[in-house]
Amino acid sequence: MQPATAPNVRPLPADLVAGYRRDGFCVVRGLLSADACAEYRAECLRLCEENDLLRNQPGSKYRAALIQRVNVWRDSPVIARLTLHRQLCAWATALAGEPLRLWHDHILAKAPRNGAPTEFHQDQPYWPHRDSAQPISAWIALQDVPVERGCMSFIPGSQRLTGLGSTDLTDAGGLFALRPELAMEPRVTIPLRAGDVTFHHGRTAHRANANDTDEYRVAHTVIYMPRTTTYSGTGHCITDGQNFATGQVLSGELFPEI
């Protein structure tokens, strides 16, 4: 499938790409207009109202931190336009430096005054992937997201740490129990305006503050993987039941090339 939107593609400055390769994250301002953000945010809230991952576990610690709905581009033509946005896909490819395909997207919302940060973690250990050196996620702010509403923080260079297990993203000490030295590393916090994007490598340690405001915080996240990524055989909601063999390339209509 081709990306659905075709704006003029704005190339990224070389120093921004170099910064991403060094630090494992970067910010790009102004992907979306205010009107586009309002449309996508309303659609995300409608979709989360309809259903979300842990809808039947209202007391869950995870759901208190994040209301999540996965693979929404399959359910909503409006969100498919955003997930497959040509400019977003072009930036992700330029940053990763190799051809990519979609892994999945998800809406990540925090309820008003949810009192629960998303604690430091790497993303890649959650995924059933092998041969995936340059996974990259785009986190798109659909409204202004200052620190108080739960913007993202990153630990520069942490994408070079391989082989860590997955950690509980409601446990502030989880990642640091695996690598205590990370607790002393500088952190970079990036407030975003509506329509801005942060990109991070799948192994860059990141967190988001709790939402201390009276509005839902709504972000849309799109995750891309190298086209050579193969299935590790471990369980994941996107691949469970899809009959991939261990070692098989993750390809097909669920994982369009971008």
Residues lying near ligand SIN in the complex (CB under 6 A) are found at 66, 108, 118, 150, 206, 208, 219, 221
- Residue whose entry in the numeric block shows the structure tokens 């208190």: 64
3-state secondary structure of 49: helix
Q: How far is the CB of 160 from ligand SIN (least distance, A)?
A: 18
Q: How far is the CB of 11 from ligand SIN (least distance, A)?
A: 25
Which of 81/210 has CB closer to Ni ion? Answer: 210
DSSP 125: G
Which of 89/192 has CB closer to ligand SIN? Answer: 192
Residues 6+ apart with CB under 8 A from 68: 52, 53, 54, 106, 107, 108, 109
3-state secondary structure of 107: strand
Of 43, 119, 123, 196, the one binding Ni ion by CB under 5 A: 123
Which of 3/209 has CB closer to Ni ion? Answer: 209
- Residue whose entry in the numeric block shows the structure tokens 């994941």: 236
Rounded-to-integer distance, Cα 197 and Cα 139, Å: 5
**Closest residue (Cβ) to ligand SIN?**
208
Which of 221/232 has CB closer to ligand SIN? Answer: 221
Residue 208: contacted member of Ni ion, ligand SIN, none (CB under 5 to 8 Å, by partner type): ligand SIN
